[in-house]
Amino acid sequence: MQVLGAERRRRWSCDEKIRLVEETLQAGETVCGIARGHGVAPSLLFTWRRQARQGRLGGEAVPALVPFEIASAPAPASTCALQPPSSPKRARAGIIEIELGGCRVRVDRDVDVEALQRVLELLRRR
């Protein structure tokens, strides 16, 4: 057996890790694309993203944000049977509208999180 040399593992500084994590948060970028471009395993980049969200990567925690759009006019009614009819009595404050797979789900702050997760998982499978 022959030893060919020292360990060939790349050491990433905190600044480099944060820069790569920030690149993955840019619109139109993917973790796999960024990883491929920098010669990093995608799983390592996902680990750094999780650490950043938890504030353990160094610097400030990266907020967990999702893209959204604020519409000035109500969207047309969906044909999905899961959409409950709007109640004119209910206040609009705190309502979240999720469109997934051609269906629209509206929930308020009192939604049962486990039930919502089951509904969204079913819609993703459609």
Q: Percent of the chain at pLDDT above 70?
A: 63
**In this predicted model, what pLDDT tens digit does every residue of 60-102 receive, in sequence order?**
545 555 666 666 655 555 555 555 555 555 445 678 888 776 7
Q: Given the structure tokens 């000035």, which residue do they identify?
A: 72
pLDDT at 117: 82
pLDDT digits (tens, 9 = 90+) for 25-40: 888 899 999 999 999 9
Assess whether pLDDT exceeds 80 at residue 21: yes
With 0.75 as the threshold, say if the pTM is over it: no
Measured between alpha carbons, how far is 65 from 29 in angstroms, rounded to an integer? 15
Average pLDDT value for residue range 32-51: 93
Band the pLDDT of 59: cuts 50, 70, 90: low
- At residue 17, the 3 state secondary structure works out as helix
Length of the chain in terms of residues written? 126
Is beta strand 103-107 parallel, antiparallel or unpaired with respect to 96-100? antiparallel
What pLDDT does residue 82 have?
52
Segment holding 49, helix H or strand E = helix 42-53
Domain spans of the chain? Answer: 14-53, 68-126
